[in-house]
Amino acid sequence: MEANKERQIEEIVALTSIYEDLFELENEDNYTVRIEEGEMKASLTIALNQDYPSAAPPIYSLFAPFLSKTDRQELTRNLESVYLDNIGESVVFLWIEEIRQYLQNIDTSTGCDNNETCDTVINQQLEDLLINDKSSPLVECPEIYTTDVFEDRKSVFQGHCAVVHNTDEIKAVLNKLYENKKIAHATHNMQAYRIYLQDKNSWLQDCDDDGETAAGSRMLHLLEILEAKNVLVVVSRWYGGIQLGPDRFKHINNMTRRALEESGMLSQDKTAQHNKKKKNK
């Protein structure tokens, strides 16, 4: 642990020297580096832990609101690859340069010219990030229940759920959740919803993996098994640098069920019935 601390201090000294005014030290365990490429401005906030760099990566938060959801997922995967290629080494400088290179490509793709400034493009990208459909009437956001966090090998999971009756309410809930920067910057925000359309005697349901392949469909399958009705569940995951394998799906499903049970959105009869089926297997 002492060796890790010494290496962290050495890295901070090096980063301060390299980035100078772009480097902001909050305390001995937290700092932020601003990354500027043309009109693209981002910031990488690092939270050091006692296992970095020998056995785990630092916890990071990337603020780059102009990135699309797809771009953010791709960049996140790139940073994870950088760490996996350099396990046991100090990686913050490599992360910063990976982000810088990515922004250079994004900057080129915006196609800014004299008639359309980059600021205009960025503002449009920010609007595209909003889940609101402007053609839809404004709706009041349903009450959202959020669980406590669960941690396994540096990965953190948290569940959120709300009673919803239409897609407008779903959008309102997601927008409200993403106002929280911590949730917005999660590695994955997987979701599933199931709504009963009484007038059509049919179900409206869908899911989103958000980069965690097959996670959303598993959540939706659980909602179907539990016969959940008129609910949206979102599970946030902050990747901690250690691959969990199939355990990640167990945790995602557990947080889905936990959010429903703790919020009272799932009847006790259905919960008991589901637990009984599990025991009988």
Q: Same domain, yes or no, for 77 and 160?
A: no
Residue 134 lies in a domain: no
Is residue 3 within 8 Å of 54, Cβ to Cβ? yes
Per-residue pLDDT at 122? 43
Which stretches of the chain score pLDDT less than 70?
A: 107-138, 267-281
Per-residue pLDDT at 135? 39
Q: Same domain, yes or no, for 154 and 263?
A: yes
Q: Same domain, yes or no, for 29 and 102?
A: yes
Residue 92 lies in a domain: yes
Per-residue pLDDT at 128? 46
Per-residue pLDDT at 127? 45
CATH number at residue 257: 3.30.230.30
Q: How far apart are the first and last CA of the chain?
A: 45
Per-residue pLDDT at 41? 84
Per-residue pLDDT at 138? 64
Mark which of 128, 163, 182 sits at the end of a domain.
Answer: 128
Q: What is the number of domains present in the chain?
A: 2
Q: What is the C-alpha to C-alpha distance for residues 168 and 88, in angstroms, rounded to an integer?
A: 46
Closest CA to 161 of 276, 48, 261: 261
Closest CA to 141 of 112, 107, 179, 181: 179
Q: Same domain, yes or no, for 210 and 167?
A: yes
Mark which of 101, 128, 155 sits at the end of a domain.
Answer: 128
Q: Same domain, yes or no, for 224 and 186?
A: yes
Element (H, E) at 187: none
Per-residue pLDDT at 255? 94
pLDDT in tens, 88-108: 999 999 999 999 999 888 744
Residue 133 lies in a domain: no
Q: Same domain, yes or no, for 117 and 160?
A: no
Per-residue pLDDT at 267? 62
Domain range for 184 is 144-280
Q: Same domain, yes or no, for 10 and 119?
A: yes
pLDDT in tens, 72-84: 888 989 999 999 9
CB atoms near residue 116 (< 10 Å) = 12
> The pTM is what?
0.51
Residue 108 lies in a domain: yes
Per-residue pLDDT at 125? 43
Q: Same domain, yes or no, for 157 and 253?
A: yes
Per-residue pLDDT at 29? 86
Per-residue pLDDT at 253? 93
